[in-house]
Structure 1
């Protein structure tokens, strides 16, 4: 199980994903700054804004494309007003390498993450903005004898088309990879759920059906006479309680067999302490249990604690404290597990573990609520609330 979140891309994940682009664009801008002279320095603020938009594009791709197109046109208009052109020129006169790279990166992100029509509209607007910079910059740098001519688009059409194909192609490639990973994950989860359904069917047949059958047989015998009914009623009652206990145990251990999880004793507090000791982590425990915890529910709580501590051991470094809090009040049992570790990284292409999925399903099967996510500045938090009844 690795640490993932289903929420939008946050700043930490954005930095991990976009730092190569940010570093590359920064290096290009610094290199281009060495070639600037005179009023050419007026282009630097605009170019920096354009590069920043490209780096932040994954958060809101379509909005980033609109902002990028607007920023490119504003830079071209301001330099045309000053009578200077972008330096150094990459095409005819209207763009440099950093602006072109930012436009390519934004188009790639837009094609990868947004809908088809929004991607088409956003790409068209960015390309129109790049073409506008060429038109606005042409009279400034063109030779004197050609300044009355309209700019010839064929002079840069081949290069622009090639870069557009590279941008759209890379976006489509990563989009296909994302879809493939999502399909594999969905298929794996479906396979795991199917296996659990088969285990549930076997458990229903072997355990629960046994008690239900006993109830039916004794109920039929009780219909023969009043004396027989009085004799079998206690047996029917006991079988009913056994069936309910088996059903609750089955729900609580749906994801993992009883042998695969931690065994529950008569004391939930002692069992949690034992798990904390076995983990070898600097665990700080806090208990405030005002109600008795049923054994089948205690087993599920132990499984949640075990899975969370295992996750911390495998996927966090520099852990100085793990806080485990277990409280109960108003008919609910609340569990909170928080660490301050630094995530050790997400494997390329994802991980094969589905621990978070299992923890969420376990809690929801018991009628509770579950949440897990990063905490600032570092660490991970798991919270669950389970009904005691």
Structure 2
């Protein structure tokens, strides 16, 4: 699992829009070419067998419905209704005027495409009504418009129904794909929000806690050792600058850029993290790291850093009487273990509504690991995370 999802850049959105537009143009060109071929393939035999202009009404009706189908993306409902009216009028004209059986292939093609567009884009009730009406026109039209001397009405009805099945099935398939894409996009957005929430909590809570602790220490220094007050103020200033830098990194994740600096740290920065903690808390930290971590995945190093950072922040908040803190990171061929312990004798309060342990647990479980946090014997608190490599 990747720790971040890079925002889609404007150029990529334009490229995607251009690809969709290109596919739409190709589909429309194929529809126009297919309709022209069907119109010609129907009109020529009819002109040879029926004679006169009996072929003309079917050609005009088919051309009108295919042309309407080319406008389906602009107004799916209106074009579908117009196509249905065209089909009904063609059937009525064939019935009353003695013209060849309708709907003819070109008209059936246009009506099937309009049905697919309605099923794909309209709300389910209207899509179902339009699809049912189109099926009725295509299935019953050839039988209603056929004269006693006409042949092949049943075959025309079967072909028209198959065209409807292809159109409605294609529209439903595209609709399901769109729904699936929306679900995936929603899942990505949820994951992004969770990641950013964890980063905001980890970074802001850690740095702000450091500023508060150093400010409290500065008050004590001002009373007891005024000559060191400037050093304490400098520490507060540095902590504030680090907080601003970390916030800029997180904001970079929200901006439309491809080169935003990651907000996650790595194990080689644990030394610096521990030194800052020792300086602000005036207590010793035993740090033990593996010899090398070059083979670790980025999300693994990021999770290790955040676990240690959040654990030290909790020590500063809830374990004021802890004399010694231990940070131990070990690795094996199968996993990496992070253990942060303290020796505070006072019971650690559990405040409802906190997100520190929740964020750590989410990070660990996202990588398939396990997290345990709680009091340890004979006293103190321990956070132990096991992360698969």
TM-score normalized with structure 1 length: 0.50
Give 1 or 2 for the bigger CA radius of gyration.
2
TM-score normalized with structure 2 length: 0.50
